[in-house]
């Protein structure tokens, strides 16, 4: 069996019709803005220590030379001391925000979409009021308690996640203390919309719409809380977050360009879903490929109710997908440690699906769905950077590189960076580039 890492599975578990304000009913009344936590100087100091010691350990691996020296709480402390301010004035406020979003199944109903907004204390900001918004779409998750709005309500939960999620969230917190507003979405089906829908994972329209609309809500909230917003936002994400942010960036630019995106930064994203389908047909696969049956079942729950799964997924596995991947009751760690799914594709998919010669109409419809929910090139004007690890067999390097090449050939402009390592290592380079770009664009 191929080498499997928890981080790779979490990352991959961790792309359009337009919506008007009348469609989504955005609210910014007080009940939709809730201050749920505060990260103190002491909290942030412990997070910085953990983060930097972890990065130091990674740097002992040949070929990895990560630099997060821009995170410097000691310098922040010195600046406050020179102003005659107490350390109590250095903190990050955690707000949960929500609004009404169209149901991902386009059923004419609405869900309560939510997310976390991290705001630095005004004493951190150079002018006491202005900050730049950075949107960081996370990798996917299967458990309801893994959503940002669940994690951030409880410092103990924030500090006791699996290692890779802990590292990611500590990055977000340390970026906020550098003077940025940081938005972390709950994906539809989690947070306040838990029980109202299933996550439309790898479904372009609802994933892109929800990220754009949550960002617009966050911008209203920031203003309501008497902060000023610097021009332009940074739209980013890794793994499922890269898929979501990439499609949101395209929709925003080709639709009404409401967000004024300074940088679209996409890391480790699944760009070709038909390529994924071909890969999962191969036997002796790792559990990372559970992203595919999860997505296919979610298509049936949401935008494609007429999709017949019986010629794709074995009938005895379909209830397991609903229970373990779509119910929100089980974390990724639960699924992995308890071996809740078979490893071999022959124990999961029908022989007809696994046959490259299949001409079944249900499979033809599935291929159509996968194609229309994949990345397609466009003549982007937004600054667009992609980062992908050369040995990424989770989100696949080859189709990502091909997408970037095709975009550039048709007149777009994508900077594509190849890093060493596999999916999990690629995430580290992504966050380094996000920090570097954020600092540069905030000058």
CA distances from 137 to 76, 112, 118, 273, 362 (A): 27, 18, 14, 19, 32
Mean pLDDT of 299-306: 95
Please state, in angstroms and rounded to a whole number, the distance separating the CA atoms of residues 171 and 179: 13
Please report which residue ranges of 228-382 form alpha helices under DSSP H: 240-254, 273-280, 291-301, 318-320, 332-337, 351-354, 361-372
For residue 342, count other CB atoms closer than 10 A to its CB: 14
Global confidence as pTM: 0.92
Can you give the pLDDT at residue 358? Answer: 60
- Calculate what percentage of the chain has a pLDDT beyond 90: 72
For strand 33-39 and strand 414-419, is the pairing parallel, antiparallel, or unpaired? unpaired
Confidence tier at 283 by pLDDT (50, 70, 90): low
In contact, 311 and 360? CB cutoff 8 Å: yes
Can you give the pLDDT at residue 2? Answer: 39
* DSSP, res 325: I
Confidence tier at 128 by pLDDT (50, 70, 90): confident
- 22 or 94, greater pLDDT: 94
Average pLDDT of the chain, as a whole number: 89
Summarize pLDDT for 84-104 with one digit per residue, the tens.
Answer: 899 999 999 999 999 999 999
Structure tokens belonging to residue 52: 């930097």
Please state, in angstroms and rounded to a whole number, the distance separating the CA atoms of residues 81 and 435: 25
Confidence tier at 180 by pLDDT (50, 70, 90): very high
pLDDT of 10 > 70? The answer is no
In contact, 429 and 60? CB cutoff 8 Å: no
Please state, in angstroms and rounded to a whole number, the distance separating the CA atoms of residues 98 and 116: 9
Please state, in angstroms and rounded to a whole number, the distance separating the CA atoms of residues 354 and 313: 10
Least Cα distance to 188 among 234, 141, 222 occurs for 141
Summarize pLDDT for 201-251 with one digit per residue, the tens.
Answer: 999 999 999 999 999 999 999 999 999 999 999 999 999 999 999 999 999
Confidence tier at 20 by pLDDT (50, 70, 90): very low
Can you give the pLDDT at residue 290? Answer: 85
Confidence tier at 28 by pLDDT (50, 70, 90): very low
């Amino acid at each position: 069996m191929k080498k499997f890492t928890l981080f790779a599975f979490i990352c991959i578990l961790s792309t359009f019709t337009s919506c008007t304000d009348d469609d989504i009913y955005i609210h910014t009344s007080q009940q939709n803005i809730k201050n749920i936590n505060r990260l103190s100087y002491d909290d942030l100091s412990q997070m910085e220590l953990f983060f930097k010691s972890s990065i130091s350990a990674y740097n002992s691996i040949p070929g990895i030379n990560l630099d997060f020296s821009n995170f410097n709480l000691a310098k922040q402390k010195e600046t406050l001391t020179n102003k005659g301010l107490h350390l109590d004035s250095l903190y990050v406020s955690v707000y949960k925000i929500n609004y009404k979003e169209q149901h991902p199944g386009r059923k004419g109903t609405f869900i309560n979409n939510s997310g976390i907004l991290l705001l630095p204390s005004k004493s951190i900001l150079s002018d006491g009021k202005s900050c730049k918004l950075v949107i960081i779409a996370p990798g996917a998750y299967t458990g309801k308690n893994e959503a940002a709005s669940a994690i951030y309500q409880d410092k103990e939960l924030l500090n006791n996640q699996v290692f890779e999620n802990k590292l990611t969230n500590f990055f977000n917190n340390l970026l906020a203390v550098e003077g940025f507003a940081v938005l972390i979405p709950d994906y539809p089906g989690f947070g306040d919309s838990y029980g109202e829908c299933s996550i439309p994972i790898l479904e372009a329209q609802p994933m892109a719409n929800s990220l754009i609309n949550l960002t617009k809500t966050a911008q209203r909230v920031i203003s309501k809380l008497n902060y000023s917003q610097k021009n332009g936002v940074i739209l980013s994400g890794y793994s499922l977050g890269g898929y979501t942010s990439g499609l949101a960036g395209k929709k925003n630019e080709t639709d009404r360009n409401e967000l004024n995106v300074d940088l679209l930064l996409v890391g480790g994203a699944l760009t070709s879903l038909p390529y994924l389908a071909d890969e999962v047909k191969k036997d002796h696969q790792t559990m990372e490929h559970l992203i595919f049956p999860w997505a296919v079942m979610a298509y049936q729950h949401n935008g494609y109710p007429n999709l017949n799964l019986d010629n794709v997924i074995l009938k005895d596995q379909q209830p397991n997908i609903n229970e373990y991947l779509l119910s929100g009751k089980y974390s990724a760690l639960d699924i992995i440690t308890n071996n809740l799914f078979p490893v071999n594709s022959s124990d999961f998919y029908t022989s007809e699906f696994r046959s490259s010669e299949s001409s079944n109409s249900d499979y033809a419809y599935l291929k159509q769905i996968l194609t229309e929910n994949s990345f397609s090139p466009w003549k982007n004007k937004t600054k667009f950077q992609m980062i992908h690890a050369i040995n990424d067999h989770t989100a696949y390097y080859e189709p990502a590189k091909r997408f970037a090449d095709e975009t550039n050939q048709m007149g777009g402009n994508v900077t594509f960076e190849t890093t060493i390592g596999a999916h999990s290592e690629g995430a580290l380079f992504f966050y380094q580039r996000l920090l570097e770009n954020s600092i540069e664009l905030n000058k």
